[in-house]
Amino acid sequence: MLRLDEISKVYKVGTFGGKELHAVSQVSFDIQDGEVVSLIGESGSGKSTIGKMILRLISTSSGSILFNGVDVSTLTGGALKEYRRSVQGVFQDPFSSYNPIFKADRVFGIIKDEFYPGMPRAQWDQKLEGSLEAVGLNPEHVLSKFPHQLSGGQLQRFLIARALLLDIQFLVADEIISMLDASTRIDVLNLLADLKSGGLSILFITHDLSLAYYISERAVILYRGCVVEMGATNKIYDSPLHPYTKMLMASVPRLDKKWEEVEIELKAQQSELSSGCVYYERCPDAEPVCGKDRPTLLEVGDDHAVACFRHMA
């Protein structure tokens, strides 16, 4: 369904744009029909940038994004509108998606005006009610309320229902449960799982390893804009190969050890990319070649690839 082929995003930074910040560097992976793929990485790794490029909110610097075989960057006018009917995004902060002076149902009115202007009111109301009920909301209880009268979980479900109104095929879910309380998180995750079983493809962007393990079939590990490991989720979690992936796994708090024994600094470095491995400066197993050349993703097993010289022998 969706394929990213060596996409990159470079920003001009510094005085008069004299320097470059490589937010995303030659990232490639694909997502099939009805599949959930988790994009995992710390803050600043480029996860949200990839999501925004897929949604055509920002352009790519190089590479291509193919949706059902069509290069997304070439879409304009009606073709771009049809793409956005099929591909939608839901983001981290549901409150920022609503105007506080309007009732929450206004987001649905915008959808009708833009995509279904000729649909009879009765047919639209039936479609709207079905969309809300699909995400576990009672139309009578939520449509007439202002955003501040609804919980974060309800507002997030509203946004997912908005996407469903367009009969979407692909959803970019960017940290959509990070601002929700624990009791609501599992409900939203189960909702995504139900939508996936109905054929929806999902890119689940997160920094939370446990959530990614719960929801996805495949995982992509991103560090400083580069894919360092990807494959079947159970293989990534059970047998991590890249030092960064191992560090992420070790950084998860455990009940059998004190936090001080496993605490690891996970702050992204925003310096320019060197010609060597992006993880070279932090890798405990780095060798001289790691500082000189950039390793490429290598298939080390069925549905498991890693970019590390230690696994290229």
Output the DSSP codes for 273-300: P-SS-TTGGG-TT--GGGGTSPPPPEEE
Mean pLDDT, residues 94-102 taken together: 80
User: Which pLDDT tens digit goes with each residue over 235-255?
Assistant: 998 889 999 998 888 776 554
Residue 274: its pLDDT value, please?
Answer: 57
**E-only strand ranges, the chain:** 2-13, 19-31, 36-40, 62-67, 70-71, 87-90, 170-174, 201-206, 218-223, 226-232, 298-301, 304-306
How confident is the model at residue 265, as a pLDDT?
Answer: 42
- Residue 160 DSSP SS3: helix
Tell me how long the chain is: 313
Residue 291 has pLDDT above 80, yes or no: yes
The confidence score (pLDDT) of residue 252 equals 64
Q: 2-240 — its CATH code? A: 3.40.50.300
pLDDT band at 263 (very low <50, low <70, confident <90, very high): very low
Mean pLDDT of 209-220: 88
| Average pLDDT for the chain | 84
Contact 241, 311 (CB under 8 A): yes
Q: Which band of pLDDT confidence, cut at 50, 70 and 90, is reported for residue 261?
A: very low
Greater model confidence, 200 or 107: 200
Confidence grade of residue 264 (pLDDT, cut at 50, 70, 90): very low
Task: Please indicate whether residue 152 or residue 243 has the higher confidence score (pLDDT).
Answer: 243
Q: 124-134 pLDDT, tens per residue?
A: 989 888 888 88
| Domain spans, the chain | 2-240
What is the three-class DSSP state of 111? Answer: helix
CB 268 within 8 A of CB 44: yes
Is the C-alpha dihedral spanning 13, 59, 50, 191 positive or negative? Answer: positive
pLDDT on residue 109 = 84
Predicted pLDDT at 37? 94
Is the model's pLDDT at 229 over the cut of 90?
yes
- For the cut 80, the answer to whether the pLDDT of residue 272 exceeds it is no
Using pLDDT thresholds of 50, 70 and 90, give the confidence band for residue 172: very high
The whole-model pTM stands at: 0.83
Model pLDDT, residue 253: 57
pLDDT band per the 50, 70, 90 thresholds, residue 171: very high
